Amino acid sequence: MSAIRENLKAVHRRMTAAAEQSGRRLEDIELVAVTKTVPAEDIEQAIACGVDIIGENRMQEAAAKFPQVKGDARWHMVGHLQRNKVKKALEIFQLIHSVDSFRLAEEISRLAAAQGRTMDVLVQVNTSGEVSKFGLDPQQTVPFLESLAPLSGLRVQGLMTIGAFLPDPEAVRPCFRQLRELFERAGDLHLPNVRMRYLSMGMSNDYPVAIAEGANLIRVGTAIFRA
């Protein structure tokens, strides 16, 4: 547990510094511990060290580990979600970060409504322009949000992006800035069923820059679970 505990302390120090430098409050920024390939026992150790949000990238991996983890935490789906995995996702996750098609949103809404519930989601935007990444083109984001407003089983809670993976975190800043600007623009529209609560951006290599640009959900894996 000591390595995970020390890594978490280091992450929180950097979060604190980034928040202070940008005039923000640390308590307004939530940490999602991304547990791709991380065994259940290490997830439990992280929870014991104070982590309260677990982020999983793959549905199959999450389904295998979720019953094994006894600690109290919220689970977020941070990776690409296929429509045929939505039913299982609704059993595990409190927030899906990666909605980027109407068909996926419609399936989430349909299955959630059949259970008498509303599922919280974020809309994923491809701010880097890389064809290898999922997400909407930034220009499509507002029309897409408008199309989701009538879906009664789904509630949009914000936006998510994966910035370009570059050696210099400062080079990723334009991706984060673009998402923040979209976030602010969407919030000004006051669309029904669409709330701009979460701005999910920043990972192990660039989360301080993401915080400086307004992120209030950061997704950190390697920096927490590396040896």
* Start-to-end CA span in the chain (Å): 10
Single-letter amino acid code for the residue at 46:
A
Mean pLDDT score of the chain: 96
Return the closest-CA partner of residue 161 out of 172, 145, 143, 175.
175
Three-state DSSP at 197 gives strand
- This prediction has a pTM of 0.96
Q: How many helices (H) and strands (E) does the chain have?
A: 9, 8
Q: Encode pLDDT of 54-83 as tens digits.
A: 999 999 999 999 999 998 999 999 999 999
Other CB atoms within a 10 A radius of the CB of residue 222 amount to: 13
Q: What is the C-alpha separation between 206 and 196, in angstroms, rounded? A: 22
- How much of the chain, in percent, has pLDDT values that exceed 70? 100
Domain tally for the chain? 1
Q: Please provide residue 81's backbone torsions phi and psi, each rounded to the nearest 5 degrees.
A: -115, 125
Q: What is the C-alpha separation between 169 and 222, in angstroms, rounded? A: 15
Q: Residue 137 is part of which domain span?
A: 2-225
CB–CB of 36/56 below 8 Å?
yes
Q: Encode pLDDT of 112-167 as tens digits.
A: 999 999 999 999 999 999 988 999 999 999 999 999 999 999 999 999 999 988 88
CB–CB of 79/57 below 8 Å?
yes
As a residue count, the chain comes to: 227
Report the CATH number that the domain containing residue 149 is assigned in CATH: 3.20.20.10
